[in-house]
Amino acid sequence: MEKTFRGGIHPKDRKELSRQVPLQHYEAKGEIVLPLGQGIGKPAKPLVKKDDLVLTGQIIAEADGFISSNVASSCSGKVKGIEKRRTLSGSSVDCIVIENDGLYTPVEGMGVQEDISAIPNEEVVARVKRAGIVGLGGAGFPTHVKLAPRDPSAIRYIIANGAECEPYITCNDQLMRTQADGILEGLEIILRLFPNAEGVVAIEDNKTEAVAAMKEAAARKQNPKIRILPLRTKYPQGGERSLIQVIAGVDFPVSKLPADVGCIVNNVGTIYAIWRAVAFNEPLFTHVLTITGDAVNNPGNFIVHNGTKVSELVEACGGIREGVTLKKVLAGGPMMGIAMSSLEVPVVKTTNAITLLSEDAVEKAEAQLTNCLHCGRCTTVCPQGLLPQLMADAVHVGDLERYEKKLYGLECIACGSCTYVCPAKRPLTQVFKQTKAEILAQKRAKQAGGGK
């Protein structure tokens, strides 16, 4: 039996809907909408204005501050304007809207393979930064920041996250099957920056083809510093902390970063993007994405252009199935994905799936809501070793002090495992996310007050 972390759950993965569908490059036909903030950090500063002509791969907005990332145009055409548009999460943010000419004329110098061994290390990080690469696993943390820790020699593990534990999503599975060599190239590039690090490609053992493909690629590479590590299939195996727990054997609080315990975790998609950025001078404007769910006609895996409308992608999959009512659409999978209110929004760098469902389990669960039984199932599955039932009690009585100090409520990573197993159908994760935001807001208010 493969190694795994403590806790966790086994939700129905429904990956069979799309796992055998090969990656297909989809070129958007309609307009492209590129939010200035795609991932964690400050939104980028636009470098173009209305009516400017842009080319595919052209940097059209640049990072504003340390934690911020560039945005590249994903098509060629004319800038329609910089305006507020609704995004996946439902909020309206500043976006660069481009009239797509459908030609995809590339920017000069992009796509020509260079000899990466000639590129110095500083240039590697600079190219990653220029390409606007963020963590494609979902959080969207700027990758160039991740690659520049305080002490590079203290990094022991570079973890390529191919676990893909989230139900329904299969795009990274397909990416690993077809681009195994590219991913390993990317991993080697990162390893160059960290002399004491070992590269570990972590894959859940339900992706047998991906494991085989990666192993073959590794055999071709014959790099002793790289190994392929199948892990037991269990959610949230692909969580950064779960991976570090298994690979480095370390548990660490949220106040610390993976780099503090000698690890850097990158999604396999991100690592592939790093290779493209460094070796081909190609910014991040395409990424892999799964369109799936029981409500769509032909679920599939795509290489999509950043800023493509979700509705266009759904049409590319044959649209919504006849006789089915679309109940819920998720950006991401069902465990951590965001419920969308409309399909007329663009996919961004961190969107790894669009899940279209004809049934809403949450709606059904609400009908079965009862008081907490204190059954302790939430405690058993929590990958952080928290006590969700007592945390919910503390929130209920308004004891945020106990929530934070005694129950370590801020350690919650919002993986949703507790809510998934709760027989009383309590919305635990939601409560914890809200409470965390509340406590952090209070702290910020206090700091701001103290600063005066």
Partner 1 sequence: MSNVLNISSSPHVRDRWSTRYIMGIVFLSLMPATIVGVAVHGLQAFLIILISIVSAVGTEFLFDTLCHKGKSYLDGSAAVTGLLLALSLSPDTPLYAPFIGSVFAILVVKCCFGGLGKNFINPALAGRCFLLISFSNSMTVFKVDAVSAATPVAELLAGKAVNVTSMFLGTSNAVIGSSIAALLLGGLLLWAFDIIHGEICFSVLGGFTLFVALFGGQGFDPVFLIANICGGGVVMGAFFMATDYVTSPVSKLGQMIYGLIIGVLGGLFRVFGSSADSFSYSILMGNLLTPLIDMYILPKPFAYRKKAIARQSGAPRKTIKQMIPRPVLVIAIITLLAGLALGGVYSMTEETIKEQQRKKAWESYRAVVPQAESFRAVQAPDIYGTIYGSSYGRVTINEAVIGMDASGKTVGYAISVTSSEGYDGNITISVGIDPDGVVNSIEFTELHETPGKGMLAADPAFKDQFNGRSVTSFKLITGGGAPAANGIDAISGSTVSSKAIVNAINAALDFFQSVKGVQ
Window of 9-17, 48-56, 70-78, 116-124 that interacts with partner 1 by CB under 8 A? 9-17
Q: Give the nearer residue to partner 1 in terms of CB position, either 116 or 326.
A: 326
Neighbours of 124 (CB within 10 A): 20
Which parts of 254-313 interact with partner 1 (CB under 8 A)? 254, 256, 260-262, 311
**Binders of partner 1: how many residues, by CB under 8 A?**
75
Least distance to partner 1 from the beta carbon of 169, Å? 13
Least distance to partner 1 from the beta carbon of 49, Å? 33
Is there binding between residue 342 and partner 1 (CB under 8 A)? Answer: yes
Q: Give the nearer residue to partner 1 in terms of CB position, either 254 or 445.
A: 254
Which parts of 187-246 interact with partner 1 (CB under 8 A)? 245
Residue from 249, 398, 449, 450 in contact with partner 1 (CB under 8 A): 249
Residue from 2, 3, 6, 104 in contact with partner 1 (CB under 8 A): 6
CA 309 vs CA 31, 304, 326, 330, 354: distances in Å: 8, 10, 17, 14, 11
Rg of the chain, C-alpha, whole Å: 22
Residue from 90, 102, 109, 318 in contact with partner 1 (CB under 8 A): 90
Place of tokens 């934690």: 67
Token pair listed for 199: 């590269």
Neighbours of 297 (CB within 10 A): 16
d(CA 194, CA 270): 17
Q: Give the nearer residue to partner 1 in terms of CB position, either 59 or 428.
A: 428
Which parts of 322-341 interact with partner 1 (CB under 8 A)? 325-330, 334-341
Contact code string over 31-70 relative to partner 1, x by CB under 8 A: ----------------------------------------
Q: Classify burial at 20, counting beta carbons within 10 Å of its beta carbon; exposed 0-12, middle 13-18, buried 19 or more.
A: middle
Is there binding between residue 104 and partner 1 (CB under 8 A)? Answer: no
Which parts of 156-185 interact with partner 1 (CB under 8 A)? 167
Q: Give the nearer residue to partner 1 in terms of CB position, either 84 or 374.
A: 374
Q: In the sheet where 198-204 sits, what is the strand order?
A: 226-231, 198-204, 157-162, 263-267
Alpha helices in 116-160 (DSSP H): 121-130, 143-146
CB 176 within 8 A of CB 268: yes
Residue from 430, 437, 445, 446 in contact with partner 1 (CB under 8 A): 430
The β-bridge relationship of strands 77-86 and 53-54 is antiparallel
d(CA 376, CA 428): 13
Contact code string over 379-398 relative to partner 1, x by CB under 8 A: x----xxxx-xx--------
